[in-house]
């Protein structure tokens, strides 16, 4: 039965003329997809797939590519909300809407396909109201005219289907990211519009994991955050652990949650260092200003000498 406690109006998903019915995981669905079905590969020819950070980790590792190269070749950025919170979608084959991984035999990366592909024809809907600290989950069913899978005999619950499609693991690894995005969106005017630098940092920490690994390996980062060698070794070798660390760091940076331990006195020292940098910049500006003033005065004296031959004699 539909869950009457969840109101679609609370959803952060942009408004749609279709207001989906929401279900619990116990809802039964009739669906099956296989190679012999008439519409096989049809959904892969019309993609509009949002990728989660865990999707990117799985795909870029399967392909043996650095995250930046994967993002450039297989994705494009888009804005999740009006404040420009960055998301990533799968880039189709040039000039088409077809997935780059589609083959005549089906998905070329099937074992590591994105969560959205695993869920179809179901979809996860995460909601978080402004007066709540936790998100709530429900499910929707998409029934498109071209899909013949709904006429197959197989019947199972949404939870059973999620288990069968291996999407439970994806949901577990993506929940922190969903909570982060939902909290940002539901905070609205309270949080304010993030700066361009904050949005760039969010994109790096969520999606460009190799670049983020370089960032946390920087000496200044290690001076601020109290991370032992075992933790750093894990972050340098385990992409999934690095992904979760990035989400935790964003919660601390954006919302002030104490998710990563700070070194004693690190904040005060950081402020003092930044103040010294500001002072150095100001002193440099003053020196440049004096040098420019001296050069200007010398130039004026030279011009006066040229214009006054009596003085020159």
CB atoms within 10 A of CB 137: 16
Confidence of residue 212 (pLDDT cuts 50, 70, 90): very high
Which tokens go with 147? 């899909």
| 279-311 pLDDT, tens digit each | 666 666 676 666 666 666 666 666 666 666 555
Strand-pair category, 50-51 with 86-90: antiparallel
**pLDDT score of 231 more than 70:** yes
Alpha-carbon distance of 300 to 304, in angstroms, equals: 6
List the single range of 2-6, 81-85, 167-171, 247-251 with lowest mean pLDDT. Answer: 2-6
| 106-134 pLDDT, tens digit each | 999 999 999 999 999 999 988 766 566 56
- Scanning the chain, the segments in alpha helix (DSSP H) are 53-63, 67-74, 115-119, 158-164, 167-187, 196-206, 209-216, 219-224, 229-237, 239-255, 266-307, 309-312
Q: What pLDDT, on the 0 to 100 scale, is given for residue 251? A: 93
Alpha-carbon distance of 89 to 52, in angstroms, equals: 9
**Comparison of pLDDT for 263 and 57, the residue scoring more:** 57
Contact status, residue 163 vs residue 105, Cβ threshold 8 Å = no
**pLDDT score of 3 more than 60:** no
| 6-57 pLDDT, tens digit each | 333 344 444 444 446 889 999 999 999 999 999 999 999 999 999 999 999 9
Q: What pLDDT, on the 0 to 100 scale, is given for residue 193? A: 80
| 78-112 pLDDT, tens digit each | 999 988 999 999 999 999 999 999 999 999 999 99
Strand-pair category, 75-79 with 50-51: unpaired
Range 270-285 average pLDDT: 56
Q: What pLDDT, on the 0 to 100 scale, is given for residue 186? A: 77
Q: What pLDDT, on the 0 to 100 scale, is given for residue 289? A: 66
Angle between helices 239-255 and 209-216 (to 10 degrees): 70
Q: Which residues contact 106 (CB under 8 A, 6 or more apart)?
A: 35, 40, 41
Contact status, residue 240 vs residue 173, Cβ threshold 8 Å = yes
Alpha-carbon distance of 307 to 285, in angstroms, equals: 33
Burial class (CB in 10 A: 0-12, 13-18, 19+), 136: middle
Q: How far is CA 281 from CA 14, 277, 288, in A?
A: 45, 6, 10
| 146-166 pLDDT, tens digit each | 999 999 999 999 999 999 999
Burial class (CB in 10 A: 0-12, 13-18, 19+), 206: buried
For residue 75, the SS3 value is strand
Report the mean per-residue pLDDT for the chain: 84
The Cα angle at residue 169 between residues 247 and 84, in degrees rounded to 5? 35
């Amino acid at each position: 039965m539909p869950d009457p406690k969840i109101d679609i109006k609370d959803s952060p998903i942009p408004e749609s003329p279709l207001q989906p019915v929401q279900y619990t995981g116990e809802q039964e669905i009739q669906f099956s997809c296989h190679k012999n079905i008439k519409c096989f590969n049809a959904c892969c020819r019309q993609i509009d797939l949002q990728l989660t950070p865990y999707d990117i980790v799985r795909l870029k590792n399967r392909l043996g590519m650095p995250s930046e190269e994967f993002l450039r070749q297989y994705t494009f950025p888009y804005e999740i909300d009006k404040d420009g919170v960055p998301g990533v979608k799968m880039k189709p084959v040039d000039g088409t809407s077809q997935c780059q991984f589609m083959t005549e035999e089906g998905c070329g990366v099937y074992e590591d396909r994105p969560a959205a592909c695993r869920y179809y024809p179901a979809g996860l809907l995460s909601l978080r109201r402004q007066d709540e600290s936790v998100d709530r989950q429900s499910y929707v069913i998409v029934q498109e005219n071209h899909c013949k899978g709904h006429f197959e005999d197989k019947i199972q619950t949404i939870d059973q289907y999620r288990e069968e499609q291996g999407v439970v693991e994806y949901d577990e690894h993506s929940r922190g990211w969903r909570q982060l995005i939902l909290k940002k969106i539901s905070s609205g005017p309270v949080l304010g519009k993030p700066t361009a630098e904050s949005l760039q940092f969010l994109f790096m920490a969520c999606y460009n994991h190799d670049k983020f690994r370089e960032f946390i390996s920087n000496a200044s980062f290690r001076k601020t955050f109290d991370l032992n060698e075992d933790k750093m070794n894990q972050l340098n070798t385990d992409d999934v652990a690095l992904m979760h660390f990035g989400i935790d760091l964003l919660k601390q940076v954006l919302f002030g949650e104490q998710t990563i331990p700070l070194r004693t006195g690190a904040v005060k020292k950081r402020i003092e260092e930044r103040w010294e940098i500001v002072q150095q910049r100001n002193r440099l500006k003053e020196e440049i200003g004096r040098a420019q003033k001296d050069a200007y005065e010398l130039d004026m004296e030279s011009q006066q000498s040229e214009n006054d031959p009596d003085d020159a004699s």
